[in-house]
Amino acid sequence: MKRLIVIGLIVVAIINFGGSALAFDVFTPGGESYVSQEDITYAETIFDQIKWDVSKAKTEKIITLTLPKVTKNYMWGVQKDNGEYIGIWLHWEGVYSGFGGENVVLNVTNPDGMGIYLSFFNYTNGKGIAQETFIYYPDSGVNYIPPEDRRAASADDNGNVTGYIDVWNNPAESWDAVITFPHKYMMFSDLDSSYWAYKVIYELTAAGYIKGYPDGTFRPNGNITRAEFAAIMSNLLKNKYPAGSKYDTSGMFPDFMAKHWAYEITNQLLGYMSREEATRIFGSKFLPDKKITREEVVAVIHAVLKNHSDFNNTVPKQVVFKDMTKARFADGIVFGVGQGFIKGYPDGTFRPQGNITRAEIAAILVLVNKAL
């Protein structure tokens, strides 16, 4: 399993030093009382001698980091992110551990920027003396991130972000504060913090239930197929409500063949509803590649959750959408509104036959995930 280090950067001030060295006070993770002043002084001296060469970063996708050779008792450690992101989770990989006195070549795996993490420690007593974070941006070179502008996030077993701390382990700003800086560690190139569903898309992605496209986009306004929705919903239910799968609905749709990529995972979802419910929603054919509608989504959610002990069928006193008479699954809409999963549009409509967008799916399923 990949080791993930959760880190969100609020960069209110970045210090650029391109291909030269930089003088700064090192950050000691355990506090200055944790290590000797001799160690700190030496670390500050040795960090001043670091050099970066970004001349080939754009053409050959490499950055050369020159680490000065250290005296006995000390060692360097270098990590970088490998370009894989899950919400605010960055996957870091170790690229060097040693005594310096050599060049370390870093492959630029993210064309928009890359995180680099340097550690310096006394290996005789195992104490970390310095931990420093940098970001390479194509338009500004290597930038140093001061300790006060670094954030770490904690998450539960399901990947839900539960809080933030600064480098001194004090409670930090909320999600909103973290995402206000438009840094280039956007997971998706077509999203920024001003988009209405930015937060929920990242939350659902961090939970592992939805993904972007190979080109780095999320396409929030794009539609989603029945099979794609089934895959997302099935994974969520397997993790949060495994006891709900009671039915054998395999082979019930003659058009849905085992060779389809979503065949197995869709049948896992269908196991949460009776054959009657499944055919009522989808008809006699599943049509896996057909775009799913807004009311079909809420009908599926109703079908799979209505018998869950945490959902007691509480409904609002009145659900009034101007176009409710057009809905085939009014009971699903009423359930969704009653549980707080869905809302209508500002004009008072629900648009039941409208194709649902990927952003809308994220907004709904984040709430379902939290409620389970």
How confident is residue 183, by pLDDT bands cut at 50, 70 and 90? Answer: very low
Last residue of a domain, one of 114, 141, 165: 165
pLDDT one-digit tens code per residue, 34-90:
788 889 999 999 998 999 999 999 899 999 999 999 998 899 999 987 665 444 455
Mean pLDDT, rounded, for 141-148: 82
Residues 38 and 148 in one domain: yes
Residues 153 and 210 in one domain: no
Residues 319 and 251 in one domain: yes
What is the residue range of 22's domain? Answer: 4-165
Q: Is the residue at 176 inside a domain?
A: no
Residues 351 and 228 in one domain: yes
Q: Is the pLDDT of residue 175 over 50?
A: no
- Is the CB of residue 280 less than 8 Å from the CB of residue 257? no
SS3 (DSSP) at 297: helix
Percentage of the residues of the chain whose pLDDT score is greater than 70: 78
Mean pLDDT, rounded, for 268-275: 93
Q: Is the residue at 177 inside a domain?
A: no
**b/e per residue 336-356 (b: at least 16 CB within 10 A):** bbbbebbebeeeeebbbebbb
How confident is residue 231, by pLDDT bands cut at 50, 70 and 90? Answer: very high
Q: Is the residue at 178 inside a domain?
A: no
Residues 27 and 100 in one domain: yes
- pTM for the structure as a whole: 0.56
Last residue of a domain, one of 149, 165, 181: 165
Residues 137 and 219 in one domain: no
Q: Rounded to a whole number, what is the distance in angstroms from the first to the last CA of the chain?
A: 26
Q: Is the residue at 189 inside a domain?
A: no
pLDDT one-digit tens code per residue, 105-136:
999 877 667 888 899 999 888 888 988 888 88
Residues 136 and 235 in one domain: no
Question: What's the number of domains the chain is made of?
Answer: 2
Residues 156 and 203 in one domain: no
Among 58-67, 167-176, 312-321, 327-336, the least confident range: 167-176
Residues 251 and 316 in one domain: yes
| CATH code of 129's domain | 2.60.40.10
The pLDDT value given to residue 9: 39
Q: How many CB atoms sit inside 10 A of residue 253's CB?
A: 21
